[in-house]
Amino acid sequence: MNPERFTLAAALALCALVPGAIGCHRGEHGHGHDDHGHGHGHDHEAEENEPEPLSITKWTDLHELFVEFPPPAPGKPVPYHAHVTRLDGFQAATEGTFHVRFKTPTGVAAETSIQGVKRPGIFTPEGPAPAAGTYSLEMVYEHAGKTDVFDCGPITVADEPPPPEPEAGGGAITFLKESQWKIPFATAWAEERPIAKEIEIAATVEPAASDQLTIGAPTGGRFFHDPKRALAEGLRVAKGDVLGAIAPTVAGDDYTRLQFATEESRLEKQQIEREIARIEPLVKDGLVPERRLIELRNQLDAAQARLRSAQGRIGRVLSPGGMGGITIKSTLDGIVSQVLVPNGEPVEAGAPLVRIGGTDHLWIRARFVARPAATFDQARPTAVRLPSGERLDFEGRGARFLSLLPVIDAGSRIATWIADVPPLPSAGAPAGEGTSTQTASAPRDELRPGASVVLAVRLGAPRTALAVPRAAVVEIDTRPYVFVQTEGEHFEKRRVTLGDADGAFVEVRSGVAKGDRIVTRGGFDVHLASLMGTVESHRH
């Protein structure tokens, strides 16, 4: 269901600001002289004497035709006003050729054609009707080498127009083609389809066990994170990216012992330097043998060497990636799922440092209060609702539960169920039969480890039932309605009783019949048009 809210005051304000946006015409239905070129001026008496125009609405797999024209009289010109809509995207046809044919069992009695539209979506051919009689009316739209034929049924050509058909009841809603073409809009047939019960469970996304990697320390030491990147959960890494470095311990020394060794070497060097400074004047005066000065200088060289060594060892600990440091790199493309060692912490050889999960093969882990086992008869994961609200179907992707039934913790009575979701097909690979277009277009980044999603689970064997897309159901005052297209620009609001929801469809138990043409997108805009109280005028 598609809950939407819009106040009457806001709708009236929209009507005042944008006349015609949703059928807010006053006195005319938008098909007057300025709009469609078939106006009759202001001769209201002449309008009252004119016969009611005929209107026909037909669909093919590719197009919708809504055409209006006066009852044909023998030999007299008939002006046609044909609206052609491309069902793919529900857009007005902008070019092509349109034909009108009066056919008999032996051939075509009369034909009228026009090339090009008068305005987007509107063809206005005009031509004489054949002699009096009954014919099969056929209309044809040609474009880009393709032909779409609309069988418009039998039509009578006579001097006297047929009696007018009963007008639509007060519940009919007028919503113009020009308005339909300007908004996201779509229609489809109400059809029977396999429907099973579907439930939703809160879940989280994690890498599949086969697509996880724990990177360990190759030796004991201190693990320093790469200063060029913030090593944290959720970080996307590529194979070969540097994660940090291990500054290994030297001969088992820890950081405190290395610090002490450095300070000890520094103090020793300074003491020898002071002793040399004291001895040098005495050597010059001949009071102390020169051999003593030579010994002190040798000791100074040794002390300097020990200091350099100690500084080098502590430098390798304090400087990640320095001389002797071991660089730690990622060995797969994925996302960091866990950082196990803080920056600069000591580790032992083999200790886990970072866990990385691939982003292609995923697990959806659902946790919920345990239910009776019979509840999950023939259960299978069918989709997830992403954080953005978009639904990602698993049809054709091979998603499955790892266990037949949820695993229940005996103490907490919390059930855990894991759905295994194989990788999406590559861009060039053909999708499996029945693969949803949503699957191909859904953003991969939203279905990633760590994301919170809602897992849809289909239960039991499917049964055949009348169903409509979820988007076709509009909640008005908390009650579900579906809008049925009775002809090109007329709709009915039907209160419906809903049953089980399954994937993108929901069962309709009453209010809609098989073969009804329903609004699957833009239903709330039709509702707004009903609030406007649009005055209908199809007098061409």
Tokens matching residue 48 = 């009252």
Which residue(s) pair with 390 in the sheet? none
Of 318, 348, 374, the domain-final residue? 318
17 exposure class (CB count in 10 Å sphere: 0-12, 13-18, 19+): exposed
Q: Which residues pair with 158 in a beta bridge?
A: none
The reply to whether 375 and 494 lie within a common domain is yes
Can you tell me the distance from the alpha carbon of 467 to that of 447, in angstroms, rounded to the nearest whole number?
28
pLDDT at 99 over 70: yes
503: left (phi over 0), alpha (psi -120 to 50) or beta: left
- Please write down the HEC assignment for all residues of 397-448: CCCEECCCCCEECCCCCEEEEEEEECCCCCCCCCCCCCCCHHHHHCCHHHCC
On whether the pTM is more than 0.85, the answer is: no
Structural domain total, the chain: 3
Residues 199, 261 within the same domain: no
Contact call for residues 126 and 164 (beta carbons, < 8 A): no
Taking a C-beta distance cutoff of 8 angstroms, is the pair 468, 189 a contact? no
My answer on whether 298 and 373 are in the same domain is no
CATH assignment of the domain containing 498: 2.40.420.20
- Among 168, 179, 163, 187, smallest CA distance to 63 is for 187
Give the residue from 266, 299, 318 where a domain finishes: 318
Averaged pLDDT score across all residues of the chain: 81
Contact 328, 215 (CB under 8 A): yes
The verdict on 398 and 519 lying in the same domain is: yes
State pLDDT tens for residues 23-69: 444 333 444 434 444 443 444 454 556 778 999 999 999 999 999 99
User: Would strands 242-248 and 334-339 be described as parallel, antiparallel, or unpaired?
Assistant: unpaired
Between 453 and 333, name the one with better pLDDT: 453
Predicted confidence band of residue 249 (pLDDT cuts 50, 70, 90): low
Amino acid identity of residue 380, one-letter, is R
| Residues counted in the chain | 540
Q: Residue 34 region, left (φ>0) first, then alpha (ψ -120 to 50), else beta?
A: alpha
**What's the burial of 342, exposed, middle or buried (CB within 10 Å: 0-12/13-18/19+)?**
exposed
Could you give the CA distance from residue 468 to residue 515 in angstroms, rounded to a whole number? 11
Do 264 and 387 fall into the same domain? no
Q: What is the pLDDT of residue 520?
A: 95
Quick one: tokens of 529? 């048009």
| Domain of residue 288, CATH code | 1.10.287
Domain's final residue, options 318, 334, 349: 318
Same domain, 198 and 154: no
Query: Could you read off the pLDDT of 290-343 as tens digits, one per residue?
Result: 888 888 888 888 888 888 887 776 665 555 444 346 788 888 888 887 889 998
